[in-house]
Amino acid sequence: MVGSPSRSDFSFSFLLALVWLSSTGPFVFGQSIRLRVDLTDAPRNIYHANLRIPAQPGAMTLVFPEWIPGNHRPSGPIAALTGIRMEAAGKAVVWQRDDVDMYAFHVVVPEGTQELSVSLDAITSADSAGGGGPAASSNLLDLNWNSVVLYPQGGASDAVEFVPSVKLPAGWKYGTALQPSNISGDEVEFAPVSLTNLVDSPLIAGKHYQRIDLTRGSETTAHHMDLVAETEADLAMKPEDLAAYRKLVAETGALFGARHYRHYDFLYTLSGEVGEHGLEHHESNDSAAAERTLLDPDVHMLYAALLPHEFAHSWNGKYRRPAGLATRNYQEPMVGDLLWVYEGLTEYLGNMLAERSGLWSAEQYREALALTAASLDYRRGRTWRPLEDTARSVQTLRMLGEQWSNWRRGLDYYPEGELIWLEVDSIIRQQTQGQRSLDDFCRRFHGGESGPPMVVPYQFDDVVHALNEIAPYQWASLLKERVGSTTARAPLGGIERDGWRLVYNDQPNLFTEAVGKIFKSADFSFSLGFSVAEDGKLQDVVVDSPAYRSGIGPGMKLIAVDGRKWTPAVLHAAIKAAQGTTAPIELLVENGQFFQTYPVSYHEGDRNPHLQRVDGQPDLLGVMLTPLTH
């Protein structure tokens, strides 16, 4: 059922956790673990932490968070955990890692002691919460607390309390959803929080920092953007972007009708030195984009939907969460089968909110949608792997390379989830003659009573039930068909019901063009059948495409086209010249130390995806893209 359990149900599980904890192990429940993190070595990508864990004498097992919320997989950076030292009453205590569980540490707290002191270091050169790349640079840092904590094995994360504090590099300023209780120079202590709240509240800091108020009008809940960047110049937000982010906040209020946080912080890092990422939390999101995102219109367009996506997760993903992802602590495995709702619906809402708030124009929204639809329509792996299997396999699919991703499939529950929810929205609007929409579903499913963060888990049947309350339809069979299908074609029903069609022509798609400009790569997926990096490396080859049939594979390197050194312009010219002829395009390709010429038979010219209006059919997409606020 969809109705929200009351907030007291949440406290009930908290009480159960108390009973459990008080009956086991020497960890002293009711006292806080004091956690101090020294971040002054951040430019070298190592964080130093000390934990003071209240304990009674006896055997104890401490664990390092393994399953990280928002990552949906065992991405806790255990290999980066170093320098572990344990002490009691000033004397070293021997610890031993578990034989099988690499995240568990056994220790015996000696007689006559009441506290275990644990020192540890987190190496952050490969990030700390599942992104890619380092967590810190010379000028800024990102602290995910899961990388510097140990907690008693078996404890519910709601029931273990921490008093966290940090020492920042001299002069750096910070942003976090945590509330400071004491600030002294570069040292900040925060009010006590549960481990759940701590892991949910990352901290960013930097030399160049700006805090922006995003609250407007009658909004009573505080919203801020905390920006850090490599240089002061990167922080210069244009007035139209500021207005758009304020509108984004207002639009979510109108869309969901309730807020499940006390205050909200957009933690936004602009840097080419650290790993790009976006990680959702209840009261903040921790996102990192390119250094010139606020300055360069092309870069801005590529990242415009990032913050709307992560912000929408506060409702869809954090507050309402698939039961399989709502685990009791960070050692319990997660089940990802409903990620096409968690991520897919968020992808749909995030892109829609980017347009409604003015971060994207309607044309940019349509170009992004066309590229998504085309990419999925050319996804050959869909003939063997249903969408639901990509969600269930999140543990194995994340962070893999591009090679053969067209055949293997990747995290397709994001983009294909977007197409499915677009179709659901279209059907609701058509079934109710425009009286209702997915906006009404969001108000019912994600709205309710405003208040502090809480989790209301759901199952597949709850989603179906809520949809039927908005517009009766065969939702269960439609959704099961969509996520279980192994048909070759992508679900384009939403686009078609909305009065548009997916077409291909020789005009560049805005997004592939911007990516090409910025990253110097080129995308020929819908013509020859490959995408290629600046150095000629073939990122992926589409199975059954002309390039594939010629014998070319991903990982090989394109050297020359019809006898001339490869560049995107040379390849485009060759495709144009081959149009309407019968002669193959000759591609000289390097494979390790060996070279071979592959004749590719292709004569249909450049093909880039766009949406085109269908004459005489109402523009439902235009209605969907209309903002809810003024």
The Cα 462–Cα 57 span in angstroms is 47
3-class SS letters over 5-19 = CCHHHHHHHHHHHHH
Q: Which is nearer to Zn ion, 313 or 610 (CB)?
A: 313
The Cα 150–Cα 153 span in angstroms is 9
CB of 317 to Zn ion, least distance (A): 7
Q: Which is nearer to Zn ion, 313 or 409 (CB)?
A: 313
The Cα 97–Cα 370 span in angstroms is 51
Per the listing, tokens 């108390």 go with: 18
Return the residues of window 261-300 that contact Zn ion according to CB under 5 A: none
Contact map string, positions 18 to 37, toward Zn ion, x by CB under 5 A: --------------------
Element (H, E) at 117: strand 115-123
CB of 287 to Zn ion, least distance (A): 10
Which whole-number Å values give the CA distances from 485 to 278, 300, 381, 626, in the listed order? 29, 35, 12, 32
Q: Residue 306 has which token pair? A: 């990032």
Q: Which is nearer to Zn ion, 343 or 439 (CB)?
A: 343
Which whole-number Å values give the CA distances from 557 to 141, 347, 400, 533, 594, in the listed order? 36, 33, 19, 9, 10
Distance linking the first and last C-alpha atoms of the chain: 34
Q: Which is nearer to Zn ion, 420 or 552 (CB)?
A: 420
Q: Residue 213 has which token pair? A: 């108020």
CB of 386 to Zn ion, least distance (A): 21
Size of the site for Zn ion (CB under 5 A): 2
Q: Residue 55 has which token pair? A: 């304990």
CB of 309 to Zn ion, least distance (A): 6
CB of 316 to Zn ion, least distance (A): 9
Q: Which is nearer to Zn ion, 55 or 199 (CB)?
A: 199
Q: Is 297 exposed, middle or buried (0-12, 13-18, 19+ CB in 10 A)?
A: exposed
The Cα 266–Cα 307 span in angstroms is 8
The Cα 286–Cα 279 span in angstroms is 5
Contact map string, positions 346 to 365, toward Zn ion, x by CB under 5 A: x-------------------
Find out whether 190 and 181 touch, Cβ atoms under 8 Å: yes
Q: Which is nearer to Zn ion, 136 or 306 (CB)?
A: 306
CB of 455 to Zn ion, least distance (A): 16
CB of 280 to Zn ion, least distance (A): 6
Find out whether 497 and 419 touch, Cβ atoms under 8 Å: no
Q: Which residues pair with 96 in a beta bridge?
A: 106
CB of 281 to Zn ion, least distance (A): 11
The Cα 365–Cα 355 span in angstroms is 6
Q: Which residues pair with 612 in a beta bridge?
A: 501
CB of 414 to Zn ion, least distance (A): 7
Q: Which is nearer to Zn ion, 153 or 269 (CB)?
A: 269
Q: Which is nearer to Zn ion, 162 or 342 (CB)?
A: 342
Cα–Cα–Cα angle for 432, 493, 619, rounded to 5 degrees: 60
CB of 476 to Zn ion, least distance (A): 25
239: left (phi over 0), alpha (psi -120 to 50) or beta: alpha
Q: Which is nearer to Zn ion, 76 or 130 (CB)?
A: 130
Q: Residue 387 has which token pair? A: 């969408």
Among 299, 367, 301, which residue's Cα sits nearest to residue 518? 299
Find out whether 617 and 611 touch, Cβ atoms under 8 Å: no
Q: Which is nearer to Zn ion, 205 or 354 (CB)?
A: 354
Among 260, 254, 321, which residue's Cα sits nearest to residue 449? 260
- Number of Cα atoms under 13 Å in the Cβ half of residue 61: 14
Rg (alpha carbons) of the chain, rounded to whole number: 26
Which whole-number Å values give the CA distances from 555 to 538, 575, 599, in the listed order? 5, 22, 18
Q: Which DSSP letter does residue 536 get?
A: S
Q: Report the SS3 class of residue 120.
A: strand
Return the residues of window 326-345 that contact Zn ion according to CB under 5 A: 343
CB of 394 to Zn ion, least distance (A): 11
Q: Report the SS3 class of residue 627.
A: coil
Neighbours of 186 (CB within 10 A): 17
CB of 350 to Zn ion, least distance (A): 8
Q: Which is nearer to Zn ion, 209 or 342 (CB)?
A: 342
Neighbours of 6 (CB within 10 A): 11
Q: Which is nearer to Zn ion, 29 or 413 (CB)?
A: 413
CB of 346 to Zn ion, least distance (A): 5
Q: Which is nearer to Zn ion, 230 or 343 (CB)?
A: 343
CB of 313 to Zn ion, least distance (A): 5
CB of 514 to Zn ion, least distance (A): 22
The Cα 611–Cα 419 span in angstroms is 14
CB of 459 to Zn ion, least distance (A): 20
Q: Which is nearer to Zn ion, 206 or 410 (CB)?
A: 410
Q: Which is nearer to Zn ion, 177 or 528 (CB)?
A: 177
The Cα 380–Cα 548 span in angstroms is 12
Contact map string, positions 135 to 164, toward Zn ion, x by CB under 5 A: ------------------------------
Q: Report the SS3 class of residue 247.
A: helix
Q: Which is nearer to Zn ion, 471 or 483 (CB)?
A: 483
Interacting residue ranges for Zn ion, rule: CB under 5 A = 343, 346
